[in-house]
Amino acid sequence: MSTTKTIKSALISVFSKEGLEPIVRKLHEQNVTFYSTGGTEDFIKNLGIPVVPVEDVTSYPSILGGRVKTLHPKIFGGILNRQDHEGDVQQMEEYNIPQIDLVIVDLYPFEKTVASGASEADIIEKIDIGGISLIRAAAKNFKDTVIVASVDQYSSLLDLITEQNGATTLENRKLFATKAFHVSSHYDTAIFNYFNTDDTIFKQSIGDGQVLRYGENPHQKGFFFGDFDAMFTKLHGKELSYNNLLDVDAAVNLILEFKNEDPTFAILKHNNACGLATRNTMKDAYLTALAGDPTSAFGGVLIANGNIDEATAEEINKLFCEVVIAPSYDEKAIAILEEKKNRIILVQNDVELPNRQVRTCLNGILVQGKNNITDNKEHLKTVTNTTPSEQEIEDLIFASKVCKNTKSNTIVFAKNKTLIASGTGQTSRVDALKQAVEKAETFGFSLKGAVMASDAFFPFPDCVELAHNAGITAVIQPGGSIKDQLSIDFCNENKVAMVFTGTRHFKH
């Protein structure tokens, strides 16, 4: 039997009619018989095109407020019968079951209904039963049946039936079936996640992945699965790369720590902040952040917690950078930043980020809740005889926010709400501290009167001793070491203030 089949009959039952008319008209030109229900049936009739009500096929009305319309052996037999199976052919004749070659159906908008904040009753009513059953049946029988499972596939179907005069190949039908199973599995995942309260079960479905130029390196394939356009409005520049996206993610999470605070500007490289400052104006915040490490800032990702004005843009324009992100820009600022054709300019929208973090691990995945704790004054417990000043407390909290968003092991030095230096991703905390001291010295910063943040406790007093010798006067750390007292004793002997937060901020 030929694998190429001509569509002679179609069952159409859709929630959204947008884009349906040209398909119906083209199929009508090709003498296709239509079967339909409810609103779709009326839609086809209003086009002046004949349509057979499903009730005429089943001899059964739509019941239970429309919950049961197409769920009938004559409908599903017409979809699921195997045209090369002798027994199926005989039963089709015996029970007077019409052949259905094409099924066009979409699903009730469950996800949109949930997102709208609708009541549980309204959400439950948007769980599609008949539609999902029709999709699965037609997709299963792709050898004989064409399934179009969403509005997104209408244009593909119209092109196909126009170019091939209503005929489809096995390859065509299998491709539509694949897309249909994607639609059904995504839909079921959304419903499950609405009901699920068991954190030990993980299901996620994200469609329409964006193909990237490559992955972390040119020989690796790269894809982004997510709604980038919901988070950002892209004003200018080239396409974002895999590494750009990782840096943007790090930048967004870091600047979130300073939301609704005074003008704050951060510069990131390889997921870590190389410059960050809070000032009275965005221009001053940028210039101070840049001074923290102008070498690493080259080719970095820049992000602000507020509007970028013309004066700030003029300073930014002097630096080669990959990405600039802000919640808003002055028109003149945009014009200045667009002078570099490849520079990516993003407007960050106020979108809630996921509360779960997912990454591959071995032959599976790791899932954890997001680190949503930001250290503040209420969390601080002074454990030394010397109490930090108000200025030191502000700097300690500032440093802790940076530390939380820097790769472990990490040490962060800050002064006057400015990132002075950091040691990042080291295999020992002492090495991280030494790296930070060396970096501060390289760029001519005095650590006298600066504060230090650590992402985890000090197992020995060597870190506070090195910090004190460098000029550090106050320390913030989670505490929790069985040898905490040794570090406390050293701080007491040398009049260094130290506070515990009780919260570790590892970032691997």
Q: Of residues 270, 340, 379, 434, which has the active-site annotation?
A: 270
Decide if 140 is catalytic: yes
Q: What angle do CA 85, 86, 88 make, to 5 degrees?
A: 70
Dihedral over Cα of 351, 354, 360, 364: its sign: negative
Question: For 260, left (φ over 0), alpha (ψ -120 to 50), or beta?
Answer: left
Q: Of residues 45, 140, 186, 236, which has the active-site annotation?
A: 140
Give Cβ neighbours of residue 277 (< 8 Å, ≥ 6 apart).
Answer: 264, 265, 284, 285, 286, 288, 289, 292, 417, 418, 419
Cα within 13 Å of Cα(229), Cβ side = 3
Q: What angle do CA 493, 497, 498 make, to 5 degrees?
A: 105
Strands 264-269 and 272-278: antiparallel
Decide if 508 is catalytic: no
Residue type, 442: T
Angstrom distance (rounded) from CA 137 to CA 367: 34
Q: What angle do CA 377, 381, 385 make, to 5 degrees?
A: 120
Q: Are 92 and 86 in contact (CB under 8 A)?
A: no
Q: Catalytic residue positions? A: 140, 270
